Amino acid sequence: MAQPVRIVVADRGDAGRRLDLVLRRHLTDVVGATRTRVQAWIEGGQVTVNGRPVRRVAARSALGDRIAVALPTGRPRQAMAPENLPLDILHEDENLLALDKRAGVVVHPAYRNATGTLMNALLWRAREWPPGTRPSIVGRLDKHTTGVVLVAKTAAMHAALQRALAAPGAAKDYLALVYGRVSVARGRIDFRLFKDRRDRRTVASRDLGRPSVTRFERLARASAPRAGLALLRCSLATGRAHQIRAHLLARGWPLVGDPIYGEPRWRRVSDPDVAAALRAFPRQALHAWRLAFVHPVTEQRIAIEAPVPTDLDELLQVSGLKSQVSSLM
């Protein structure tokens, strides 16, 4: 059963504003009324304007509009439980820590992964931290993406790290193994991204999406005439969900092993050993390799690197790419 909330647009400050912004302004006391959820309510048909469902987030309000939203009651969220799980610590000080996330590990508890997450493990580690501290993850990686995850120990440090990572000179570098003939040494991908209406878990590139920028550098390429195979270093200028995966697909270079944005181009690889290794790779070949920023407290530049995971390292070895980038391994 849903709880209805009704709003009348009587404020000229609301007139002409986007529907999602109006709702967020008036639902500040509603727990869980985040931007993402408000937009999902609109697109899911839970919001009506003057009695008619409106599914466009960018729809504009007018004076006198009567807006109704059916808020799902749902079940109260259970508190996250500390769990004694292994963590690979790359760096730690009084203010933050950085982890090396393994493939298959979920960062934060969700409906299908309520336990066994990185956050559950962090809560266990934080049991003896000083009063007023609590782990909060700065940015997230997909379940099967490996590499550096940054964790703040206080809310103030979380905000400071977000600013530090957005500052000029900060770096968020990924290693990506892709199919395709990458003929340019470096470049920029700036396709706009938006959530695919056919599957809200994915994004697609369109002219009307959110501005998104990925810079890339070709580190190595293998001889795979019919399919193409290359190792790229990708740097994020923006941090949209699935950005690298969707951008590389849009450019014609899908990630090896990507179950959502990938393609089975291993079938075109003539070398049977390489083809078999590509086919067997169980996840998207994406690794959050390096994070560099100015520490908000010490004001010293810090660079944190996560070693290339064993499964990706072995694939690079079989494909002949590892010898070209041995300095990274």
pLDDT in tens, 166-205: 999 999 999 999 999 999 999 999 988 867 666 556 776 6
Residue 138 φ/ψ region, left for φ over 0, alpha for ψ in the -120 to 50 degree band, beta for the rest? beta
* pLDDT, position 29: 66
**Cβ atoms 222, 319 nearer than 8 A:** yes
* pLDDT, position 207: 62
Between 56-60, 103-107, 228-232, 244-248, the lowest mean confidence (pLDDT) is in: 56-60
Domains of the chain listed by start with CATH number? 2-72 (3.10.290.10), 89-166 (3.30.2350.10), 171-328 (3.30.2350.10)
Which one of 77-86, 166-175, 222-231 scores highest in mean pLDDT? 166-175
Residue 247 pLDDT > 90 = yes
Residue 142 appears among annotated catalytic residues: yes
pLDDT in tens, 23-35: 887 876 676 677 7
The pair of three-digit structure tokens given for residue 264, joined into one six-digit string: 């089975």
Please report, for residues 26, 103, 136, 210, the alpha-carbon distance to residue 242 in angstroms, rounded to integers and kept in the order given.
Answer: 30, 16, 21, 13
* pLDDT, position 78: 64
pLDDT in tens, 116-140: 999 999 999 999 899 989 999 998 8
More confident residue, 311 or 44: 311
Residue 234 pLDDT > 90 = yes
More confident residue, 254 or 194: 254
Helix pair 35-43, 19-26: axis angle to 10 deg:
120
* pLDDT, position 110: 74
* pLDDT, position 20: 85
pLDDT in tens, 270-308: 899 999 999 999 999 999 999 999 999 999 999 999 999
Average pLDDT, stretch 5-29? 80
* pLDDT, position 8: 81
Average pLDDT value over all residues in the chain: 88
All residues at 6 or more sequence positions from 214 whose CB lies less than 8 Å from its CB, including other chains: 188, 189, 190, 234, 235, 236, 237, 238, 243, 244, 247, 248
The pair of three-digit structure tokens given for residue 158, joined into one six-digit string: 């979380």
Share of the chain above pLDDT 90, in %: 56
Query: Which of the residues 142, 173, 258, 311 is marked catalytic?
Result: 142
The burial class, CB within 10 Å (0-12 / 13-18 / 19+), for 147 is buried
* pLDDT, position 1: 45
**Cβ atoms 54, 95 nearer than 8 A:** no
92: β partners: 97
Residue 4 pLDDT > 80 = no
